[in-house]
Structure 1
Amino acid sequence: MEYFEFLNKSVTPYHTVATLKALLGAECDENAQFFERGGALIAVRTPKKVCSDSRFRIALAHTDFPTLRITPNPDGLAAGVRTLHPEVYGSPLFTSWLDRDLGYAGLLAYELDGKVETKLIRGDKLFRIPQLAVHLNRGVNQDGLKVNPQTDLNALWTAVGGKENFTDALAVELPAGAKLLDFDVQLFDAQPAQFGGFENEWIYSGRLDNLSSCHAIAEAFAKAGSLEKDFIVAAFFNNEEVGSETREGAAGNFLKSVLESVSTFASSELASALSSSFALSIDMAHACHPNFVQKHEPNHAPVLGGGVVLKVNSQKRYASDVFSNAQFKLICEQNNIPYQTFVMRNDMPCGSTVGPAISASLGIPTVDIGEPMLSMHSIREMTAVKDHDSMTKLVKAFYG
C-alpha cells in the first residue's frame, strides 16, 4: 500500500488495524496468521519447520497517537454554537490543534436484536477549535500562548438549530433499529499527507508518530517469505502514549499469548527461544531542530535524512543495551543502511517506548530505534523521505 494512502486512512488505532489488515491480507500467503485485539494487531509468519532451535524475529510499533477524544457527555452550548468537550489522550502539543480542520472518527458500540455489535466510522464533516484573535489577547506574541485543556479545547461542531446532541449525529451511522450504547471517537487532522521541501525531500502529515513505523514494518512483513526455522512477527500495540498497561498494550499479555499459541513450545522451551531471539522496537526519534540545536546533546543529535536512529538511555527508558546495539549495527553495516545515535541531555527527562515493557516481560534482547522527526506530538509532524526508506530497508533485512 502506498505510504500516503496508509497515513490518510489510519486516523484512529481501530482504523490503523483495519488498514494494516487490508495491506497485509492482500500481500501475504497462507503461512501468515493474524491476531486482533481492539486497536492492536499481531501478524506472524510461521517457519517451514518448527524445531528446538527456532527463534523469533519481532518488530514492534504502536498504533495510537496523542489526540483529543470526545467525552461520553460532550455537549455544550455557548454564543450560539454547539461545542464538543474532549479529553486529552497522551501528550499532544495543544497549540497545534487550534485553527485546524478537524475530522472525527472511531468505533461505535450498539445493540441490535439483543446483541452488542460494533462499527468503524469516519465522519465527512469538519470541526474546528478557533484561536482567540490577537485583538482580544494583546500579549500573546510576547508572552506566548497558554492553552488550558479543560476550557480552551472545546471543538465547534454545529450551530444552534442543527443536531442538539453529538450522540444523535453518531446514531445516524447505525443500521436501522440499532441503539447506540457507547463510542470511542476522537478528533484528527483532516489534511492529507504530502511532500514538503524544495526537492520534495520531506513528508508532512498527522500521526507520523508512530504510523511511519507501522508502515515500515507492514511493508517488510508483506514482502518477507517464510524462513526455514525462525518465526517472523509484526506486533502493533495500542495505548503506548498512555503507558501501555492495557490488554491492547505492550505491557499486557497479548504478544506472549500469541507466541505461545503459534509456537507450541513448552514454557521452558519458549523462555529459551525468546532469550536467544531479537526484537526491533521501532518508534520515532527527535531530530535536531535547526532553531533549537541547544536542546540536544551535542554529540548525539540526529538530523533529518541522516538515517535510522539508535536510541540509548542509561536510565533504561529504552531497551537498547550493548548486545542489542551491536546486533543492530551489524545489520545496518551488512546492508549499507545509514544510522545515527540519540542520547538525551542529562538535564532533560527522556520518553520511553514499547521496547522496555516487551524486553522485560519476555526476556528478549531488544533495540530501540526510530526515524528522526520534527514537531513530535504536534497535530502535524515532519520526517524525511530518505529515513523512511532506510527504516523499511532495515526491517526487510531483519526479516530476511
Structure 2
Amino acid sequence: MDYFDFLNESVSPWHTVDCLRRLFAAAGFEERQMTDRAAFAPGKAYVFVRGGALVALRMPLQVNESSRFRLALAHTDFPALKISPNPDRTAAGACTLHAEVYGSPIYSTWLDRDLGYAGVLAYEKDGNVQTKLVRGSKLFRIPNLAVHLNRGVNQDGTKVDPQADFNALWQAATADGKASAFADALQGELGVAGRLLDFDIQLFDAQPASLGGFNDEWIYSGRLDNLGSCHAVAKALVSAPAPANDFCVACFCNNEEIGSETREGACGNFLRSVLETVWSAGCAASDLPALSGSSSSFSAILGESFALSVDAAHAVHPNHPEKHEANHSPVLGGGIVLKTNAQKRYASDAVSSARLRLLCEQANVPCQTFVMRNDMPCGSTVGPAISASLGIPTVDIGEPMLSMHSIREMTAASDHEAMVRLVAEFFR
C-alpha cells in the first residue's frame, strides 16, 4: 500500500488496523484467532487482531536454543476529538456535536478545518452484537471566532476552552429550531444491517496527505504521529525474508496517547499472549518440548531479545531553536532519532542505544539524538511499558517531526525512507 494511501485511509485506530490487515494479507500473512489451535508452520507469516491493535509476525524456519524475538513497536491511535455518547445540541440555528478530547492535541489547530468523522458502530443483529467500520462522506467544522469579535487574538493567542469550543457544526437546525439526532444519521450509515446500539466515532482532518517544500522534500499530513511508524514497520516486515531462527514481530498497540493502560494498549496482555502462543508452537514444531514447556525459559528468551519502539521525535523548530537541549537538536532530513531520557520516559539505555547505533551503521542510516530539556516535561511511548512488563531490552527511536500533535504534522520524506531501511535491516 502506498504511504499516502495509508495516511489518508487510516482515519481511526480501527481503520489503521484495517489498512494493516489488507497490507499484510496482500503479502501472504494468514490471520489467526487466539483461540485457533491450528499449527503454525515454520517460515510462515501470521496476523492477530484485537480491536484497534494488531500483531504481525514471521515464524522462524527452525526454533533452537539461540532463537530470540526481534520486535518493532508502534501505535495505531493519535490525538483526536471523539463524539460523546449523547452529543446533540442546538445553538444559533445550527446542530452541533459535543466532542471529548482524546490524548493531547493542539486545540487551536482543530478550528477552521474540514473535519471528517469515522470509527466503529456496534449494532444488534439476530440477538448478537456485531461491529462495522464507518467513514462518513460529509464534512463538519468548528469555526473560529472572527477577529472583529476577538480583537486581542493576534496578541494574546487563541485560547480554546475544550468544554465550550469543541462543539462541531454538522448541519442546520430544523425550522422549529430542533436538533437532529446524530445517532439517527449513524443508523443510516449502518443501513439495514441491524439496529445501532452504540458507537465510537472521532473527528479527523479530512485534507489528504501531500508533499511539500520547493523540492517536494517534506510530507504534510494529519496523523503522522504515529501512522508514519506503523507504515515503516509494516513495510519492513512485509519485505523481510523468513528468519532462520528468530521470530520477527511487529506490534501495533492502541491507546498510547492516553497512557496505554487498556486491553488493546501496551500495558495489556495482547502482545505477551501472542508471543507465548507462537513460541510454544515454534518449539513444538522443532521438537523442543523442554523449551516450550518452561515459563522460566520463555522469560529468559524475552530478556535476551530486542525491541525497537518506533514513535515520532521532536525536530528542532527553525523559529524556536531555544526549545531544544544544546547538542540534541534533530533536524528534518537528518535521519532517524535516538530518544533517551534520564527519568526513563523512553526505554533506551546505554546498551540498547549502542545496539541501535550499530544497526544504523549496518543499514547506512544517519542517527541523531534527542534529549528533553530539564525544565520541560518529557513525553513517552509504548517502549517503557512493554520493556518493563516483558523484560525485553528496548530502544526508543523515531522520525523527526514538526507540529507534533497538531491536526496536521510535518516530516521529511527521506527520514521515512531511512526508517523503513533501518527496520528492514533489523528484521533481516
Q: Shorter-chain-normalised TM-score: which range?
A: over 0.9
Residue 35 of structure 2 corresponds to: none
Residue 324 of structure 1 corresponds to: 352
Residue 342 of structure 1 corresponds to: 370
Matched, 1:183 2:191: no
Aligned residues: CA RMSD = 1.0
Aligned length: 400
Gaps of 5+ in 2: 31-43, 281-291
Matched, 1:391 2:407: no
Deviations 1:33-90 (A, max 9, x none): 1111110000111000112321000000000000000000000000000000000000
Matched, 1:261 2:250: no
Deviations 1:90-130 (A, max 9, x none): 00000000000000000000001111111000000000000
Residue 208 of structure 1 corresponds to: 224
Deviation of the 1:29 alpha carbon: 4.9
Amino acid at match of 1:16: T
- 2:29–2:47 contact (8 Å) kept in structure 1: no
Aligned structure 1 segments of 4 or more residues deviating by more than 3 angstroms: none
Residue 284 of structure 2 corresponds to: none
Residue 342 of structure 2 corresponds to: 314
Deviation of the 1:24 alpha carbon: 1.0
**Which of 370, 374, 377 pairs up with 2:402?**
374
Name the SS of the counterpart of 1:125 in structure 2: coil
Deviation of the 1:177 alpha carbon: 6.3
Separation (CA, whole Å) in 2 of partners of 1:28 and 1:274 = 27
Separation (CA, whole Å) in 2 of partners of 1:74 and 1:121 = 18
Separation (CA, whole Å) in 2 of partners of 1:375 and 1:182 = 33
Amino acid at match of 1:287: A
Aligned pairs for 1:75-94 within 5 A: 75-94=88-107
Matched, 1:138 2:166: no
Separation (CA, whole Å) in 2 of partners of 1:201 and 1:175 = 43
Name the SS of the counterpart of 1:41 in structure 2: strand
Residue 249 of structure 2 corresponds to: 233
Separation (CA, whole Å) in 1 of partners of 2:244 and 2:362 = 21
Residue 274 of structure 1 corresponds to: 302
**Which of 194, 211, 219 pairs up with 2:210?**
194
Residue 61 of structure 1 corresponds to: 74
Deviation of the 1:336 alpha carbon: 1.1
Separation (CA, whole Å) in 1 of partners of 2:364 and 2:26 = 30
Amino acid at match of 1:398: F
What TM-score do the two structures reach when normalised by structure 1? 0.99
Amino acid at match of 1:185: I
Separation (CA, whole Å) in 1 of partners of 2:73 and 2:415 = 18
Name the SS of the counterpart of 2:105 in structure 1: coil
Amino acid at match of 2:196: L
Deviation of the 1:175 alpha carbon: 4.0
What TM-score do the two structures reach when normalised by structure 2? 0.92
**Which of 318, 323, 331 pairs up with 1:295?**
323
- 2:46–2:56 contact (8 Å) kept in structure 1: yes
Amino acid at match of 2:20: L
Amino acid at match of 1:42: V
Separation (CA, whole Å) in 1 of partners of 2:411 and 2:217 = 9
**Which of 32, 39, 42 pairs up with 2:55?**
42
**Which of 85, 99, 102 pairs up with 2:115?**
102
- 2:29–2:46 contact (8 Å) kept in structure 1: no
Residue 283 of structure 2 corresponds to: none
Deviation of the 1:28 alpha carbon: 3.0
Deviation of the 1:292 alpha carbon: 0.5
Separation (CA, whole Å) in 1 of partners of 2:191 and 2:317 = 49
Gaps of 5+ in 1: none
Residue 7 of structure 1 corresponds to: 7
Separation (CA, whole Å) in 2 of partners of 1:385 and 1:176 = 43
Matched, 1:249 2:301: no
